[in-house]
Structure 1
């Protein structure tokens, strides 16, 4: 074969091939190193105890963020008390950057952020999950909430739909009259104040302390979350009845007990905008998944409660109306704590008075300021 038959300009010498491969490998290594250096890890603590369905769901979601972000963002999840020992510590740990985020029940911050009593359902207020999503995502409540949280060095990413709260009791509660004299575990703030109107003595306890308090008789009834988690916490072993609202309403005092994802404001601002959008989108997706998974588990848990001998009692529609009449002055008392609380409440009051909802009339709030 004639050497002139070869077009030597189209052939890469062996040394050139190795040089090209080496260059590509080097560039790849640099890109990988750059990606590793750019990856951001957030430590996020939930208020769910380890081993509960709530924590398992949240951890699975956190574990999926790294893949969804292409390795640019990673969430390391912790159960209740793992880093911050209590709720106050959790709030401060996120503000100070010890943790980058938290997954709390929004109502926990009523003592620090009075407006937070209106960022989750409250006694006889909006009682359907879609109503809360409407207020947050369509009526401007999300933007106002973020404005409030920024004053505390926090960024409120979004609400996470959870469940209704129910009351477990040693003795049946068949009407509001039966509440008188009960020593009941309740969240603080507005809920405790409304129950006090019916003669209840409120006791504040974290979820992990409820079972031993019921077992020892320190309390004789307890509000906590829904059937799925409460079954796992053993409440059927230390109580005999569950109190719910009228048919179709599990709870008249916290029917939509919202959780949320809140993060350190500096950590949020340091995040690339595309990752910020990813986190916001993922919170909305997770909210639906969490809610629906809990509802399925609630149905299964109620069968177990019944098999264990637990009975269910329900308040009447008349009880609900009486409960709302007692709650309205408390709404206004909390709304008047500061301008932020009033701003959130005003949004909700207008919504509740709209004929599409119709919970409140002018007569109901006559004389209230």
Structure 2
């Protein structure tokens, strides 16, 4: 009996190390599986490089960077967006456009109007003189009236996918003397964007000049120009415009700008990169762009409110055009709208959507008589 017990004990003792080894092997196999899974997930993740036109250190870029970095977690690690500030990969706007088309970058966050020379329809994909002047007008046209689908159809011809608009701000005018009516513009030398905006202001006796943003302050300081358009109050205050002008021209109450009231940005990506995404991931990106648009807009508007208090405290005066002025401005602008739309079938298709909306009784911005006058009928 003793011998048998010893034998059984010996067998148990011999079996124990074997079970230990099997357990160790199982644990090791589990770690290998986890490692392989993590490796697979890392390989499966899609990485996009996206360059913004905002400079590093600006509120615009901080917001864009925060949004881009959030996408990895929101996508469960499936999409990683690496943000880049202005000029960091592509040195200029032309380079940015081509870098996205060619796949050097997978996407861009530009001001949509930048491409009016390359994609003529974009002149109507952000605000223009006396057009729809509230941010929600543009969201309605994009998301409820088919303008988003038409825009995507246009961009597809260039190997691009237009994900969606991003609300930004209005552009406003700072001047050395008060502008209380359109008549007060006559004889002024003003920095404005070229193209459609310049053409409309010229109808009211303005001598328009084109200057890069960095040249505006010295031109106002030296008196070589009387007034200048640029972006919204927050940025313009930081640029020191209160030091060289005394007046800020707005439209009627509730309208900051009659010529560029809703200056839209967007997210546009390489078409091949977009098509490579799973449909559920595509939908996530679209939804998050809409969320980002709201946060971007509201943050900048908060900064604008704070900046306007500073302008007023430093002696600047807000002047406003009246509703009659806005209607005169629109009548002068409408023929110029159609001039620009006649240059390109896609531009005309976009303007047609907007005309339908502006003629609807919910808007009432233009009438049949306005159209007849624009067409010389």
**Following superposition of structure 1 onto structure 2, how do residues 1-369 of structure 1 map, counting pairs within 5 Å?**
13-369=19-375
SS at match of 1:293: helix
SS at match of 2:318: strand
| Per-residue deviation, 1:107 | 1.4
Aligned to 2:15: none
**Could you tell me whether the CA contact under 8 Å between 1:184 and 1:202 is conserved in 2?**
yes
Q: Deviations over 1:297-350 (max 9, x none)?
A: 111110011112211111111111110010000011011111101111111101
Distance 1:39 1:217 in 2: 55
Distance 2:80 2:215 in 1: 32
Structure 1 residues 282 and 257: CA distance shift in structure 2, 3 A: same
Distance 2:361 2:371 in 1: 16
Q: Deviations over 1:109-129 (max 9, x none)?
A: 111111111111111111111
Q: Deviations over 1:62-121 (max 9, x none)?
A: 121122122222222222222222222222222222222111111121111111111111
Instruction: Please identify the structure whose Cα radius of gyration is greater.
Output: 2
| Per-residue deviation, 1:208 | 4.1
Structure 1 residues 51 and 232: CA distance shift in structure 2, 3 A: farther
357-366 vs 139-148, which moves further: 357-366
Distance 1:102 1:148 in 2: 17
**Could you tell me whether the CA contact under 8 Å between 1:155 and 1:263 is conserved in 2?**
yes
Structure 1 residues 107 and 266: CA distance shift in structure 2, 3 A: same
SS at match of 2:371: coil
Unaligned runs of 5+ in 2: 13-17
Give the structure with the higher percent helix: 2
Distance 2:312 2:64 in 1: 28
| Per-residue deviation, 1:206 | 4.1
SS at match of 1:363: helix
Distance 2:348 2:237 in 1: 37
Count of residue pairs brought into register by the alignment: 364
Structure 1 residues 286 and 116: CA distance shift in structure 2, 3 A: same
TM-score, normalised by the number of residues in structure 2: 0.90
**Could you tell me whether the CA contact under 8 Å between 1:110 and 1:189 is conserved in 2?**
no
Aligned to 1:9: none
Distance 1:202 1:80 in 2: 27
SS at match of 1:160: strand
TM-score, normalised by the number of residues in structure 1: 0.92
Unaligned runs of 5+ in 1: 7-11
Distance 1:227 1:126 in 2: 21
Distance 1:130 1:173 in 2: 28
Q: Deviations over 1:214-254 (max 9, x none)?
A: 34545432212211222222222232221100111111111
RMSD of aligned residue pairs (Cα, Å): 2.2
